[in-house]
């Protein structure tokens, strides 16, 4: 039997589910379910509300470096879900958490998990209202979040809305998490400050959620970069109609060049093919750009403009020193390694 990757498995399952809502949400991070209800029996007024759903599974053997403590693992499992909500500008309200716990986990380990969930709940203002527990061979956490929004369905940015002429923006710098993973897995050398920041980005990520919550209404498309910058850009390029993405400037830590050179690693590999940065990547129509900048200044949010959308066939290019080259679609995907 041919081995399928993560996306192919999802597409296969979808062919067996006949719900028409799947046509809208296929290939995106959140499920948006339109609801209607009467505000009052005394008045004939109907409010349109969208129920927003998301689940995200963390598996210890594929998603958790050995240096992470139980509380960090628990927090990160919720962070991944919140990041996807933020990319669409929707604040999650509550969640259910199911946990598969190995026999080897002590009471202190489980207390650590509880502390991590509690910290994330307070940090992101998401109520934990229940879930399920079971025994498993390794730690598995499945976080199921729900949000509610009165924004119209067509006002919520998806991955397929980029249009030629849009600007491409992001919420933060790239290279820390990919460097942190290489430091952990290959014991590479790094300057003290850069090493600390890189490791922290892996074990205790801090997504710029307010970037999405305040600015998403200006986006034509959006995604978070948890699977790597190149993968995120290609998701937008391939799902949108007749576009290419041209990247001409990536926000880069100053120390990244030294780290890459001292360890004989390509800087572009660290920037494009990392993952788990949890930065928001979005396209913004030119007509919305000044409005977005004004809103960002009001809330003290930093915006990095990294490129523009061109007419094309679903490719991503990187322009450096006047030379353009095709970027590989090489992000993280389960079942491919």
pLDDT in tens, 285-318: 999 999 999 999 999 999 999 999 999 999 999 9
What is the per-residue DSSP string for 53-108?
EEEEEEEHHHH--TT--HHHHHHHHHHHHHHHHHHTT--EEEEEEEEEE-TT--HH
Q: Judge whether residue 129 has pLDDT over 50.
A: yes
Per-residue buried b or exposed e for 295-319, using 16+ beta carbons within 10 Å of the residue's own CB: bbeeeebebbebbbbbebebbbbbe
Q: What is the tens place of the pLDDT at every residue in 68-110?
A: 999 999 999 999 999 999 999 999 999 999 999 999 999 999 9
Q: What is the tens place of the pLDDT at every residue in 133-165?
A: 999 999 999 999 999 998 887 889 999 999 999
Q: Judge whether residue 40 has pLDDT over 50.
A: no
**What is the architecture of the domain spanning 6-154?**
2-Layer Sandwich (3.30)
Q: What is the rounded CA–CA span in Å between residue 5 and residue 178? A: 22
pLDDT value for 43: 44
Confidence band, pLDDT 50/70/90 cuts, at residue 26: low
Radius of gyration of the chain (CA): 20
pLDDT value for 76: 96
Confidence band, pLDDT 50/70/90 cuts, at residue 245: very high
* Third-level CATH fold of 158-326: Phosphoribosyl-aminoimidazole Synthetase; Chain A, domain 2 (3.90.650)
Secondary structure class of 243 (helix, strand, coil): strand
Q: Judge whether residue 6 has pLDDT over 80.
A: no
* Percent of the chain whose predicted confidence (pLDDT) is above 70: 91
CATH 3.90.650.10 residue ranges of the chain are 158-326
Nearest residue to 220 via CA among 279, 161, 165, 305: 161
Q: What is the rounded CA–CA span in Å between residue 298 and residue 30? A: 28
Confidence band, pLDDT 50/70/90 cuts, at residue 27: low
Q: What is the tens place of the pLDDT at every residue in 215-243?
A: 999 999 999 999 999 999 999 999 999 99
**Residue length, the chain?**
337
CATH 3.30.1330.10 residue ranges of the chain are 6-154
Give the lowest-confidence range in 40-54, 165-179, 196-210, 219-233: 40-54
Secondary structure class of 77 (helix, strand, coil): helix
Please, what sign has the CA dihedral across residues 254, 257, 262, 264? positive
**What mean pLDDT value characterizes the chain?**
90
Apex 37 CA angle, 32 and 149, nearest 5: 35
Q: What is the rounded CA–CA span in Å between residue 234 and residue 326? A: 11
Q: What is the tens place of the pLDDT at every residue in 252-264?
A: 999 999 999 999 9
């Amino acid at each position: 039997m041919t081995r399928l990757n993560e996306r192919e498995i999802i597409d296969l399952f979808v062919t067996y589910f006949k719900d028409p809502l799947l046509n809208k949400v296929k290939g995106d991070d959140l499920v948006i379910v339109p609801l209607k209800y009467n505000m009052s029996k005394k008045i004939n007024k109907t409010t349109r509300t969208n129920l927003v759903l998301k689940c995200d599974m963390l598996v210890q053997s594929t998603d958790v470096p050995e240096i992470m403590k139980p509380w960090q693992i628990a927090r990160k499992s919720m962070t991944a879900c919140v990041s996807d909500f933020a990319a669409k500008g929707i604040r999650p309200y509550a969640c259910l958490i199911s946990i598969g716990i190995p026999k080897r986990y002590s009471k202190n380990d489980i207390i650590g998990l509880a502390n991590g969930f509690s910290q994330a709940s307070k940090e992101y203002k998401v109520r934990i209202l229940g879930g399920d527990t079971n025994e498993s061979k390794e730690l598995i956490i499945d976080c199921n979040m729900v949000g509610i929004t009165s924004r119209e369905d067509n006002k919520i940015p998806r991955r397929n809305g980029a249009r030629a002429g849009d600007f491409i923006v992001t919420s933060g710098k790239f290279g820390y998490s990919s460097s942190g993973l290489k430091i952990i897995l290959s014991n590479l050398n790094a300057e003290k400050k850069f090493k600390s920041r890189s490791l922290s980005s892996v074990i205790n990520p801090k997504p710029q959620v307010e970037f999405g919550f305040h600015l998403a209404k200006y986006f034509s498309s959006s995604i978070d970069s948890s699977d790597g910058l190149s993968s995120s850009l290609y998701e937008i390029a391939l799902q949108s109609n007749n576009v290419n993405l041209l990247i001409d400037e990536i926000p880069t830590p100053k120390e990244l060049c030294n780290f890459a050179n001292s360890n004989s690693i390509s800087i572009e590999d660290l920037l494009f093919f990392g993952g788990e940065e949890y930065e928001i990547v979005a396209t913004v129509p030119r007509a919305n750009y000044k409005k977005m900048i004004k809103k960002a200044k009001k809330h003290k949010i930093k915006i990095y403009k990294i490129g523009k959308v061109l007419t094309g066939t679903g490719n991503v290019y990187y322009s450096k020193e006047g030379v353009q080259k095709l970027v590989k679609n090489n992000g993280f995907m389960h079942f491919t390694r």
